[in-house]
Chains A and B, each alone.
Chain A
Amino acid sequence: MQKLLWSALFVLTTLFTFGQDKVTLSGNLKDAESGEDLIGARVVVAELPGVGALTNDYGFYSLTIAPGTYTITIKSLGFETVTQQMDLTADKTFDLEMKVEGKVFGTVTVTGEKLDENITSAEMGVDKINMKDIENIPVLFGEKDILKTLQLLPGVKSAGEGSAGFFVRGGSADQNLILLDEAPVYNASHLLGFFSVFNSDALKDVKLYKGGAPAEFGGRLSSVMDIKMKEGNSKRLSVSGGLGLISSKLTIEAPIVKDKGSFIVSGRRTYADIFLGLSKDERAQNSILYFYDLNAKANYRLGKKDRIFLSGYFGRDNFGFADQFGFDWGNATGTFRWNHLYGDRLFGNTSVIFSNYNYKIKFGAEDETFQIGSEIQDINLKEDFDFYINSKNTMSFGGNIIHHTFRPGEIETGSDIGFVLNDIENRYSLESAAYVSNEQKIKKRWKVVYGLRFSNFTQIGPGNIFSYDVDGNVTDTTVFGDWEPVSSYNGLSPRISSNFSIDEKSSVKASYARTYQYIHLVSNSTSSSPTDIWVPSSNNIEPQVADQVSVGYFRNFYDNMLEFSGEVYYKDMRRVIDYRDGAEVTLNPTVEGELLYGIGRAYGLELLLKKRRGKFTGWVSYTLSRSERKFDEINDGAWYAARQDRTHDISLVGMYNFTDRLTASATWVYYTGNAVTFPSGKYQIDGQTVSLYSERNGYRMPDYHRLDLGVTLENKKFKTVLDPESGEEMQVPKRFESSWNFSVYNAYGRENAYSISFQENPETGQTEAVQLALFKIIPSITYNFKF
């Protein structure tokens, strides 16, 4: 199959390259101030309506047209538009550094650029966040968080109060592929889910595909979140940082060689434990509780055609009590990339990617210790190409192979313990994929992106591989040697999305995508936990599969000031995973025997109305949806509401620029309570009162709503100096920028239920429903600076 794909590709490539009398304009677009590559900037030809090119993830564009004299316009959101006459008689390279718009003496310039990307692009089911909005939107403890801000968009739901975990279109949290510079991040939350691992100071661009992701991506059922780190300022040394209530951060970026290479290092650490040290309570003084993140990236341009990047992330949570108990967990990722231009129309990127997530729990001190650990580790080799065939076709193709290592349980004892415990055996697998995708302008108003992704997952030895009966008991054990295949699965995922522009203001889009998921997160707790483990597909676990169709209508009003979109989707899921009642999922060598397999369906309507320009900006988003599961062993095989099922989900976000120094913002969210299981009786056994359950997820938590408010005050951006030549007063921008951010989380103090438990009242013996609410009016203050 793979062979077939590659030969098809070869035929296509040769077809498109021969016999054309065309010229190619290509180059790189950058931010003039920081030297950062511009992603998604547009190159438009005035004489050829509908013909243009977009820059890729590395700021590269390529446009092939007939020779002639053209008016070339280059636009990017937030930058001054550049228009230039060009005489194209032969292939030409044109690099440009674009200036940030509106940086003129404190006045806000209104751009004349048409912001109609949402209408003209074939992409649908995509949520994008402007990094500037993240700075203004109020969040818990003032910790800016891309994952929390994304939850305010339609189809993306928070996993719970203050949680960085999220559900996309009725899928579970582990069905989201979260990529940081191409490396998967296996556990994206800190401090039991209240904060995400992403330090927004180090990030450049975030995109979330809720359905219809390009064929380049695969491996998860529900969504792809593609996060890119900043490259670092290649013009000058720049330092920025922030001091917050619970954490501080510092970012340093500088050129390695001006305009050729740069680096960025960004760190963040919380200091809740510093306050614990001030406590009078001895136990609190000896407690350890903090997390930190470190992002680093460097890039260097070797020549006109080659560029290399090295980026990494390292973050860890530490929790402990004196030297007697320790619990720490975290991710480490690393990406090495090499960009190469094979001619001016073929852009290639080779990546070597590493990702690791592990946790360790340690008891005891000195040589009397007992330590439990678990780990997942990936090494991935990836090759991607963008081929700019002509002004109507842009092709992407490539492939990758990942070696996964799963260490479910490693146990170490100190030398004084006197005995050695057995580890749980490691598991190994290879996950590979090849894809080809083409974006084609069929008619002036009709654009289609179509592609095919072929994937394979092979479980390999060494190991003692178990087989199970229907009740989950081990029936057989087979021994496999190094690299010996145990089981193998193939997946063929067609992807297609189409955009038909009705006129310049509106378009209709439709998409279909099939996705496969070969590794699964085993977690039987209701919230995400650091000890949740990933298990591979195997002789016992088949991959999960989903098909999703969606249709959308997009319309802009008032010269693209208002943007409206409405999308409906239906997602069919097969072989989704749940657990047997009473399942033990941590440190269980036969965890595969605890799993159940069923089907799922999710469908909904998503509406978004956004105001993009003016003093007042913001959006209203509404989602009406269902997400259901069906397992033979649960609720007598009937369909039931999944935990991710939320009937209504509303977010209102508003930001108002009073002056160029003062911005106020407010968000209000409302959603239907999660589906939960409550008891319908009780009984006594083993001397204890036990709840009797008759139905899974048969009840609802109370509805959730919350208002957050924020104010950002920036210092004066300009200072008055005397012009040395004319002696007149003039305003110049200040090098040092700073701002204060004040915010209030849950401003009207709504007691939202975090959990409801049924407890016996110790005095009366009666059972009562006790609601726990976590955060009631949390004010916070943050100071940010940059120079």
Chain B
Amino acid sequence: MRTSFLFFIFLLVFTFSSCEKVIDVPLNEAEQTLVVEAVIKDRVGANYIILSKSGSVYEDQNFEKVEDATVTVTAADGTVYDFPHQGNGLYNLPDFAVVPSMHYDIEINALDRLITAGCDAPSKPEIDSLTYLTLTGTFGVPEGDTLNLISFHSVDNGAEKNYYLLKIFRNGRENSGYYLGNDDFINGIYYEAQFFGSEAKPRDTVFVEMISMDKANYDYYVGLSNNLGSGPFNAAPANPPSNLNGNALGFFGAYSTDTISIVLP
């Protein structure tokens, strides 16, 4: 082999450019339809049933509320609860609370249509504790800044299939993201989960709500998070799968919950 002295000239012309712009996309108008958000929980004061109407894509945010509906919830033990209208599309019965492991049915008469749904409230979940890891200058936290990574500890109920929604509140305000999970990998065991993305500052009060729900509600929330995401690595967009019977969007959920709070030093 004859060797040659190799001299490499390297030239960098790198104008990788992506650009975003608003374009005009004409869209078909879907018929205006009823939207049901019916949440009942095992804590007094945590329930809400909101009835509204859908709007067109390019319209502003003022969705019409439905204020002349009748809403009743029937427990498996035969008790019937009427949820009266409280104003602005909100229907509520202030001292109502779900009994864990009980089945509930809902019946809504609104916009000349009947909407029904049923849901099993799961057994009551239990939060063991909250812990925190103080981060200074690691995990992308800038030098001189201190944040606390909150860890959540619990034991899964091995006797049933569990689906969880975890909401985290900082100083009374709900964080924009939530955490969804099932027990595929933690069935019946003690586990710990970190709330990445919800780091708290010193002296914050952190409140965590653990919501246990049935599969239909969990699928709805997964569908909802897919619907909200956009871009090439998200699922093909679709309406979240509803558990409502009748012509309406939305869901009915009967949830069992546990809550805990922690004050950071």
Contact = CB atoms under 8 A, between A and B. Distances in A.
A756 B25 contact: yes
A527 interface: yes
Given A684-B63, A766-B58, A779-B15, A755 B23 contact: no
B151 to A, nearest CB: 11
Contacts of B59: 682, 767
Interface in B75-100: none
A770 B33 CA distance: 26
Given A685-B250, A692-B239, A771-B23, A525 B232 contact: yes
Contacts of A524: 235-236
Given A754-B232, A755-B232, A768-B22, A736 B54 contact: no
B60 interface: yes
Find the residue from A418, A526, A582, A759 having the highest chain B CB count within 10 A: A582
B187 interface: yes
A735 B1 CA distance: 10
Nearest to A529: B233
A580 B241 contact: yes
Contacts of B55: 681-683
Interface string A582-606: 1110011100000000000000000
Contact of B23 (A527, A769, A781): A769
Size bracket, chain B contacts:
35 or more
Nearest to B58: A767
Contact of A681 (B17, B54, B251): B54
Contact of A787 (B2, B15, B19, B61): B2
Contact of A411 (B8, B16, B185): B185
A582 B184 contact: no
A419 B190 contact: yes
A554 interface: no
Contacts of A783: 8-9
B89 to A, nearest CB: 10
Contact of B239 (A237, A324, A581, A779): A581
Given A160-B232, A735-B2, A772-B18, A684 B237 contact: no
Nearest to A525: B233
A397 interface: no
Interface string A682-696: 111110111111111
Interface residues of A, number: 91
A769 B14 contact: no
A705 to B, nearest CB: 16
Find the residue from B27, B192, B228 having the highest chain A CB count within 10 A: B27
A589 B184 contact: yes
Given A681-B29, A787-B4, A758 B57 contact: yes
A243 B238 contact: no
Contact of B20 (A423, A684, A690, A770): A770
Given A582-B226, A692-B239, A778-B15, A771 B232 contact: no
A450 interface: no
Interface in A170-229: 192
Interface string B210-223: 00000100011011
Interface string A750-776: 010111111110001111111111111
Interface stretch (A85-93, A437-445, A672-680): A672-680
A524 B232 CA distance: 10
A283 B249 CA distance: 42
A679 B13 contact: no
A417 interface: yes
Contact of B6 (A409, A764, A773, A785): A785
A776 B17 contact: yes
Interface string A143-181: 000000000000000001000000000000000000000
B68 interface: no
B227 interface: yes
A477 to B, nearest CB: 12
Contacts, number: 220
Contacts of A766: 58, 60
Interface in B1-59: 1-2, 4, 6, 8-25, 27-30, 32-33, 35, 37, 52-59
Contacts of A478: none
A767 B55 CA distance: 11
Contacts of A773: 18-21
Nearest to A254: B1
A473 B216 CA distance: 10
Contacts of B185: 409, 411, 421-423, 587
A332 B109 CA distance: 60
B15 A525 contact: no
Contacts of B240: 581-582, 690
A691 B227 contact: yes
Nearest to A679: B57
Find the residue from B8, B15, B55, B235 having the highest chain A CB count within 10 A: B235
Contacts of A695: 28
Contact of A583 (B1, B10, B235): B235
Find the residue from A409, A587, A681, A696 having the highest chain B CB count within 10 A: A681
Interface of B, secondary structure class, is loop
Contacts of B224: 582, 685-686, 688, 690
Nearest to A689: B61
A419 B9 contact: no
Find the residue from A420, A524, A679, A759 having the highest chain B CB count within 10 A: A679
Given A751-B19, A769-B24, A778-B16, A683 B52 contact: yes
Given A411-B185, A767-B57, A681 B13 contact: no
Contacts of B4: 736, 787
A692 B191 contact: no
Interface string B189-200: 111100000000
Contacts of B215: 473
B265 interface: no
B231 interface: yes
Interface string A321-362: 100100000000000000000000000000000000000000
Given A582-B238, A751-B21, A683 B35 contact: yes
A276 interface: no
A414 interface: no
A277 interface: no
A691 B57 contact: yes
A680 B52 contact: no
A549 interface: no
Contacts of A702: 23
A237 B230 contact: no
A285 to B, nearest CB: 12
B28 A680 contact: yes
A485 interface: no
B140 interface: yes
Contacts of B70: none
Interface of A: 160, 192, 236-237, 239, 243, 245, 275, 283, 321, 324, 409, 411, 417-424, 473, 524-527, 529, 579-584, 587-589, 643, 677-686, 688-696, 698-699, 702, 735-736, 751, 753-760, 764-781, 783, 785, 787
8 contacts: A524-B236, A685-B35, A685-B37, A690-B224, A698-B28, A771-B23, A775-B17, A778-B16
A-B interface, 10 closest residue pairs, ranked by CB to CB distance from nearest: A582-B223, A757-B230, A527-B232, A581-B238, A681-B30, A680-B30, A683-B54, A769-B25, A421-B185, A524-B235
Given A684-B63, A781-B11, 12 more contacts: A324-B140, A419-B191, A422-B185, A679-B57, A682-B57, A683-B55, A688-B228, A696-B238, A755-B230, A760-B61, A770-B22, A772-B20
